[in-house]
Chains A and B, each alone.
Chain A
Amino acid sequence: MSANRVRVVVTGLGATTPVGGDVTSTWTALLAGQSGVKALTTDWIDTVPVKFAGTAAVDPAEVLPRPEARRLDRSEQFAMVASREAWQDAGSPEVPPERLGVVVSSGIGGINTTLSAYDTYRERGWNRLSPFTVPMLMPNGPAAWIGLDLGAQAGVHATVSACASGAEAIGHAMDMIRVGRADVVVAGGTEAAIHGLNIAAFAAARAMSTRNDDPAGASRPWDRGRDGFVLGEGAGIVVLESEEHARARGAHIYAYCSGVGYSADAHHITQPEPDGRGIIMAMTQALTDAGVTGHDIKHVNAHATSTPAGDVGEVQAVAKAIGTHPLVTSTKSMTGHLLGGAGGIESVFTIKALQERVVPATINIDDLDDGIEVDIVHGKNRTLPDGDVAAVNNSFGFGGHNVTVVFKGA
């Protein structure tokens, strides 16, 4: 930790989620405890054991101009909608193209395009494919389209690490600014994976909730009755900027993006490591990187996806790495799990919590599980103290990827 290191601030937020088409409507819904999880009525629904998901509150294809929407995979549409909101929110900063970067990723890429294009190819032949099929299915597509939209030339990257992708993107974006490769970076995560094949595959891994009689109650992190995660879709994007650049243009500063920690479990391809060694390491490194102690962290937006194996282990690791005092919540109880989009929207929520000094309650906790020492926010929203406050967003992914991002109140 060097005292004179470049400091990175957050100057713009964008989100499109199962509970709202932008940041304001999403945040209002979270504070009201609204679930975005709904019963599905798609034509493949009888082929899968899970009949619900967190579908986007606003269809991005209805928001974007038609010629643009038809060239973008749904994951790219979400990313574009959220990035334009974030960019506008940041005041559309004037920045030389060679000082502007993009780091945006999804966990799965343009899977809807891959599958529908395969059908077209098999049923009607290669020459019926859109010439935009490849840029629609490639995992770097969302980052590339945002880069084109903004004219970013400092580097456009996609950091693929399953459900840690969005948080990892924000960490890399912060590092791009710290090492001097860019002054402004648009960063976050997106996902559009509500498709029969994905649900079938996650169900085959026995990872999903099958609470089909109660979709809105299905995502219930830390509740004793939890039975798996709920798939969601959407995107969350932040505009990161060097503090010097933001101050010079008089930008509104939401928060500092002050540290990131990465680790890998090296344990199992899908199961969490039972002692939490990897996630403790990610959190500890993030705190060190941010120059804060556990005492400074007042809030954790947990990864907690409502799986039997993961939720309690994570907060036991929080207790070890940070302490039992932070107000811990899982907004996935309302949005479902956006996979690669999770770290994007949950970073937005962590920043909103710091800005407004309020932590939205986790919904659906009727019977808190055993073994939890931390302060889980449920029943009602809780306020954060005034003064210097820092918060943490955790994101973990299949493959054993662990990412913790630290934000500090402005």
Chain B
Amino acid sequence: MAATEQDILQGLGKIINEITGIPASEVTPEKSFVDDLDIDSLSMVEIAVAAQDEFGVEIPDDQLKNLKTVKDVLTFIQN
């Protein structure tokens, strides 16, 4: 099942909203998790746990630390 980038972005926005309270509309591809969305490392782990369930992918810790922007996550999930 190939989800479109738009589907993934919507799903990710929902997860981030649930975990951090940040409106899903602010979750756009160019945003940096740390610099723009002010998401800390433990929140990133929560997001990764939820994203693994939602999109059926494994995100190992050594990959997670390279996912700096929303776009990075979209690309990782699509690949």
Within 8 A of B (CB), among A356-389: none
Q: Are the CB atoms of A132 and B49 closer together than 8 Å?
A: no
Nearest CB to that of B45 among chain A residues?
Answer: A131
Q: Are the CB atoms of B18 and A132 closer together than 8 Å?
A: no
We find that the number of chain B residues with CB closer than 8 angstroms to chain A is 10
Cα of A130 to Cα of B42 in the assembled complex, Å: 9
Q: Are the CB atoms of B49 and A127 closer together than 8 Å?
A: yes
Residue from A70, A127, A128, A129 within 8 A of B19 (CB atoms): A70
We find that the number of chain A residues with CB closer than 8 angstroms to chain B is 10
Residue from B18, B45, B52, B53 within 8 A of A70 (CB atoms): B18
Residues of B within 8 A of A130 (CB): 46, 49
Q: Does B56 contact A (CB under 8 A)?
A: no
How many Cβ-Cβ contacts under 8 Å join chain A to chain B? 23
Q: Does A66 contact B (CB under 8 A)?
A: yes
Q: Name the prevailing secondary structure of the A interface residues.
A: loop
* A118-138 interface code vs B (CB 8 A; 1 in, 0 out): 000000000111111000000
Nearest CB to that of A120 among chain B residues?
Answer: B49
Nearest CB to that of A128 among chain B residues?
Answer: B49
Residues of A within 8 A of B53 (CB): 128
Residues of A within 8 A of B49 (CB): 127-131
Measured CB to CB, the residues of B under 8 A from A are 18-21, 42, 45-46, 49, 52-53
Measured CB to CB, the residues of A under 8 A from B are 65-67, 70, 127-132
A-B contact list, 23 entries, CB within 8 Å:
A65-B21, A66-B18, A66-B21, A67-B18, A67-B19, A67-B20, A67-B21, A70-B18, A70-B19, A127-B49, A127-B52, A128-B49, A128-B52, A128-B53, A129-B49, A130-B46, A130-B49, A131-B42, A131-B45, A131-B46, A131-B49, A132-B42, A132-B46
